[in-house]
Amino acid sequence: MDQNLKNYYEYLELKPDASEEDIRKAYIRLARLYHPDHNPNPSDRRMIELNHIYETLSNTIKKKEYDKRFKPESSYDFTQPNSSPPVSDNKVYPVKINRRTFRKKIEYVATIILVAVLCYLFVFLLVKIIGAFVTLPDWVHFIVPG
């Protein structure tokens, strides 16, 4: 993208409050001029720039980001010593998103239950094998009946 290209609206010869239809019409008008099939200069990059501009201004989210970045937010004059800036509480605070879905939580609980059952079976078999050769205390038979 050409770094000298600062104002997309000027490039499209539109005002910043242009509608989506106006942006589309300006894009089509300039695309007919700069398209490689109609433009004899093969090194001309204006069609690439035009596509980037249209992609930005036709997407409402990208357009808001572009307008926010390149248009002044308010007409507050910071050179005046006794004036106060406008108060805006329209800040966007980041939201912490819990990435662990319900399915992941279910898998986690199922894994814990499976490990507990396998541990119990291991202890059960160990007690049965050792119990065949050695007399075990009563509390062991309380944990592993049989």
Contact 56, 66 (CB under 8 A): yes
The residue behind tokens 């662990």 is 100
Smallest CA-to-CA distance from 50 within 113, 108, 2, 119 is with 2
In this predicted structure, the answer to whether residue 80 has a pLDDT above a threshold of 70 is no
Look at the pTM and tell me if it is higher than 0.85. Answer: no
Q: Which two tokens stand for residue 131?
A: 């119990």
| Mean pLDDT score of the chain | 77
Please write the tens of the pLDDT for every residue from 81-134.
Answer: 555 555 555 655 565 656 667 788 889 999 999 999 999 899 888 888 887 788
Which residue spans of the chain are classified as CATH 1.10.287.110? 8-70
User: CA 142, CA 146: separation in Å to the nearest integer?
Assistant: 9
Q: Does domain 8-70 have CATH number 1.10.287.110?
A: yes
